[in-house]
A and B are shown apart, each in its own frame.
Chain A
Amino acid sequence: DAKTTQPPSMDCAEGRAANLPCNHSTISGNEYVYWYRQIHSQGPQYIIHGLKNNETNEMASLIITEDRKSSTLILPHATLRDTAVYYCIVLDNTGTASKLTFGTGTRLQVTL
C-alpha cells in the first residue's frame, strides 16, 4: 500500500529550479513528509522534512499544500551533482524511529 506517488523521472537544466512533486493523499494528521535522495553508488542522503509549514534548509525547500495531500521539493539552482533518485516518504515522527520505507522515487537528471 503505497503512501506516496512520485513521477518516475524528471529532467532539469543546470542552474534552473528543480521542482519534484509528491502526492500523499492518505496522509494522517501526525505524519510528516520526509525527502531523501540517492546519488549513484552512494547511500541515501537526508534532505528535509516537514509537517504542514513550508520548510527551507541549505539544501532545499519543502512546500506542503494546505490540505497536506501533496508536497513539492524545490532545489533552487540545480547542478549536475543533484542528479539522483529522490524519495518522498511519509511517516510518524513521534521521537522513535519508524520503518523508513523507500519506494521507487523520482530519477532527476540535471543536464547542461
Chain B
Amino acid sequence: DAGVIQSPRHEVTEMGQEVTLRCKPISGHDYLFWYRQTMMRGLELLIYFNNNVPIDDSGMPEDRFSAKMPNASFSTLKIQPSEPRDSAVYFCASSLGTGGANVLTFGAGSRLTVL
C-alpha cells in the first residue's frame, strides 16, 4: 500500500484565494483525520470522519474551513477565503476502526503558505 497520499505537497497562494487540499486514505481504513501543525499551536485535530461521515468538527477554526469526504477513498479540506494565519502544514491520517482506531497512519503533509 502506498500509504496516505496528500496533495499538493506545497502550496503558495495569496490572501483571499481558495485553497483545496486533498487526501487519499489507506484502502480499507474507515477513519480519516485532518490535522494542522504550526510552531505556535503544535498539532491540532481539525475534524475526523468515520465511514465518510463527519464525527467531530469542533477543531475546525471557523466557517472559512470546510471538509468533505464524498467516498471512502477521497477527502478534501477547503479554505475559502484563505488568510496568512492559515499558513501551516496540514496532515491527513487514516486508521482502521476495528482494533486499531487510534493507530493512525499519517500522510506526508501539505505545506500551505498564504501571502
Contacts and interface: CB of A to CB of B under 8 A. Distances in A.
Given A43-B91, A44-B91, A97-B95, A102 B104 contact: no
Interface of B: 4, 31, 33, 42-43, 45, 48, 50, 55-56, 91, 93, 95, 97-99, 101-109
Interface stretch (A8-16, A61-69, A88-96): A88-96
A43 B102 contact: no
A1 to B, nearest CB: 16
A40 to B, nearest CB: 11
The 5 A-B residue pairs whose C-beta atoms are closest, nearest first, are: A43-B106, A102-B43, A97-B101, A97-B31, A43-B91
A17 B25 CA distance: 34
Contacts of B98: 95
Contacts of B50: 96-97
Contact of B104 (A42, A46, A104): A46
Contacts of A101: 45
Nearest to A95: B101
Given A96-B50, A96-B97, A44 B104 contact: yes
Given A32-B102, A96-B97, A96-B101, 4 more contacts: A38-B43, A42-B109, A91-B102, A93-B102
